[in-house]
Amino acid sequence: MEAKTEKRSRRKYDSDFKKEVVKMIESGRSVPDVAQSLGIGTNLIYQWIKRSKVNGNSSENSSSVSFDAEKAAMYKKIKDLEMERDILKKALGIFSR
């Protein structure tokens, strides 16, 4: 038996490339077809798809999520301000006696 002396380096892909591959899959192309045309393993593409769904990397998702978060924060701020106003009204009533 011969020991392998060559070390294979891992290929690294930037996030733009990964997003483009995920968009290709979402547009209707099959994973094996894309994997074969780009010379990438199918498991790697499935991982990228899973991560994009978990992270919500699509622009529609991230904008709606940020809008919902901003909306919730605004409602919380409104409740806090209303509570402060009510407390100040009560305090004014107590001290004006």
H-helix segments, 1-97: 15-26, 31-38, 42-55, 59-95
Using CA atoms, how far apart are residues 10 and 84, in angstroms rounded to an integer? 58
Could you read off the pLDDT of 11-47 as tens digits, one per residue? 888 888 999 999 999 899 999 999 999 999 999 999 9
Residue 67's pLDDT band (boundaries 50, 70, 90)?
Answer: confident
Predicted confidence at residue 65, as pLDDT, reads: 64
Which residue has tokens 């100040």? 88
Q: What average pLDDT score do residues 54-66 get?
A: 63
Whether the per-residue pLDDT at 88 is higher than 80: the answer is yes
Residue 66's pLDDT band (boundaries 50, 70, 90)?
Answer: confident
Q: For residue 23, how many other CB atoms are within 10 A of its CB?
A: 12
> Buried b / exposed e across 70-82, counting CB within 10 Å, b at 16+?
eeeeeeeeeeeee
Predicted confidence at residue 83, as pLDDT, reads: 96
Vertex 69: Cα angle to 66 and 75 (nearest 5)? 140
HSE-CB at 7 with a 13 A cutoff on CA atoms is: 2
SS3 category, 39: coil
